[in-house]
C-alpha cells in the first residue's frame, strides 16, 4: 500500500515554513524595499516614494560602494589563496604525523574557529593597538597596524587566523577518506613521501579544495564583524567592506531602501563571482 502523496510534504512542511519565513520572505522584502527612494516634499520630513530602479542606478555611480567592492576583491585575491595553502599544508602535515601530538595540534589549529569573530576582533584589536601591541614593545617600534595603508591586511590576518583551522579540518577529513589500498599500491611502485602527496593526496583532495574555495569566496563577501569591532581603535574607512558600508547606510543614514539595494547587488555580485570561479576551475575537466 502506497502512502498518500501528501505525507512527504507533511514531513517537509516545518523546514519549508521556516525557510520561507526566514530566507525567502526577507529576500523578497529587500527586493520590494529597494524600489523605493526617500523624497522630501515641502517642509515636511522625507518620505518613501516609489522610485523604480533609481537606487540601482545610484549604486553603480556610488564611489564608496564601488570602492568597497574593489577592497573586497583585493582582500579575496590575497587572503583566500594564502589561507587555503596554509590549511592544505597543515592538513597534509597532520595526515602524515602519528602519535599523541597529532590530536593536540589538530585541536590547537582548530581552536581559533571556536572563538566568536567579535571576541577575535577585540583580541586582535589589543594586539594591533599602537601603544599596547606586544610586537611594538618587543621591537621598540611604533608601527600602526590600523593605519589606512595596512588596515585591510590587518583584517585579513584576523580572518586567516580564524578560518584556517576550520578549512584544515575539512581537508583533513577528506584525506582520511582516501582508501589505504591506493597508498599501498603506490608504495609497491616505489612512491614515498612527496611523491605520495603529489600524485595521490593532492589530486584526490581537489573536490574538497574546490568546496573550501567556494565557501571562502562567499564568506569573504560577508565580512563585517572584524572591521566593525576594530573601528573604534583606529582608522577603518566606512567602505572597507561592502557589508560595513551598507550597514552604515542603513543605521547611520537611515536609508533602508538604498541599503537593501546594495545588499541585493552584493548577493548578485557574489553569485556571479562564484559562478565564474566554478566555470574557470572546471575548464580543464570535471572536478
Helix/strand/coil for 36: strand
Q: Domains in the chain, ordered, with CATH?
A: 48-284 (1.10.3720.10)
Cβ atoms of 88 and 205 closer than 8 Å: yes
Residue 236 pLDDT: 86
C-alpha cell at 59: 549604486
Q: What does the CA dihedral 232, 238, 240, 244 come to, rounded to 10 degrees?
A: 90
Looking at the predicted structure, is the pLDDT value of residue 134 above 90?
no
Cβ count within 10 A of residue 151? 22
Residue 18 pLDDT: 95
pLDDT digits (tens, 9 = 90+) for 148-188: 889 999 999 999 999 999 999 999 999 999 998 888 888 88
Question: Please, which residues have CB within 8 angstroms of residue 207's CB and are 6 or more apart in sequence?
Answer: 174, 287
Average pLDDT over residues 93-114: 85
Percent of the chain with pLDDT over 70: 97
Residue 283 pLDDT: 66
Q: Name the least confident of 69-73, 101-105, 115-119.
A: 101-105
| CA–CA gap between residue 102 and residue 106 (Å, rounded) | 6
Cβ atoms of 47 and 38 closer than 8 Å: yes
pLDDT band at 1 (very low <50, low <70, confident <90, very high): low
| CA–CA gap between residue 41 and residue 134 (Å, rounded) | 56
Give the largest Cα separation in the chain, rounded. 86
Among the listed residues 227, 274, 218, 272, the one whose alpha carbon sits nearest the alpha carbon of residue 246: 227
Q: Which residues pair with 22 in a beta bridge?
A: none
Q: What is the sign of the dihedral through the CA atoms of 247, 251, 253 and 257?
A: positive
Of 97 and 33, the one with more pLDDT = 33
Residue 132 pLDDT: 80
Arithmetic mean of pLDDT over the chain: 89
Residue 287 pLDDT: 47
Looking at the predicted structure, is the pLDDT value of residue 65 above 80?
yes
Looking at the predicted structure, is the pLDDT value of residue 73 above 90?
yes
pLDDT band at 26 (very low <50, low <70, confident <90, very high): very high
Cβ atoms of 151 and 240 closer than 8 Å: yes
Amino acid at each position: 500500500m502506497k502512502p498518500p502523496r501528501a505525507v512527504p510534504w507533511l514531513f517537509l512542511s516545518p523546514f519549508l515554513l521556516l525557510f520561507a519565513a526566514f530566507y525567502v520572505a526577507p529576500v523578497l522584502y529587500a527586493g520590494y524595499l529597494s524600489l523605493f527612494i526617500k523624497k522630501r516634499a515641502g517642509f515636511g520630513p522625507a518620505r518613501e516614494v516609489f522610485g523604480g530602479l533609481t537606487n540601482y542606478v545610484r549604486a553603480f555611480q556610488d564611489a564608496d560602494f564601488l570602492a568597497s567592492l574593489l577592497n573586497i576583491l583585493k582582500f579575496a585575491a590575497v587572503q583566500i589563496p594564502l589561507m587555503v595553502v596554509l590549511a592544505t599544508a597543515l592538513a597534509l602535515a597532520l595526515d602524515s604525523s602519528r602519535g599523541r601530538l597529532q590530536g593536540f595540534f589538530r585541536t590547537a589549529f582548530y581552536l581559533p574557529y571556536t572563538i566568536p569573530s567579535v571576541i577575535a576582533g577585540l583580541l586582535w584589536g589589543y594586539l594591533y593597538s599602537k601603544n599596547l601591541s606586544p610586537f611594538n614593545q618587543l621591537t621598540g617600534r611604533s608601527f600602526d597596524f590600523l593605519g589606512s595603508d595596512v588596515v585591510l591586511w590587518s583584517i585579513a590576518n584576523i580572518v586567516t587566523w580564524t578560518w584556517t583551522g576550520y578549512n584544515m579540518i575539512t581537508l583533513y577529513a577528506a584525506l582520511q577518506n582516501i582508501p589505504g589500498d591506493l597508498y599501498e599500491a603506490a608504495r609497491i611502485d616505489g612512491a614515498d613521501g612527496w611523491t605520495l602527496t603529489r600524485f595521490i593526496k593532492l589530486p584526490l583532495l581537489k573536490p574538497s579544495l574546490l568546496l573550501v574555495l567556494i565557501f571562502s569566496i562567499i564568506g569573504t563577501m560577508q565580512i563585517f564583524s572584524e572591521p566593525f569591532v576594530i573601528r573604534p581603535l583606529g582608522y577603518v574607512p566606512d567602505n572597507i567592506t561592502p557589508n560595513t558600508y551598507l550597514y552604515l547606510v542603513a543605521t547611520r543614514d537611515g536609508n533602508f531602501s538604498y541599503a537593501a539595494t546594495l545588499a541585493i547587488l552584493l548577493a548578485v555580485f557574489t553569485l556571479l563571482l562564484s559562478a565564474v570561479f566554478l566555470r574557470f576551475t572546471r575548464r580543464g575537466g570535471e572536478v
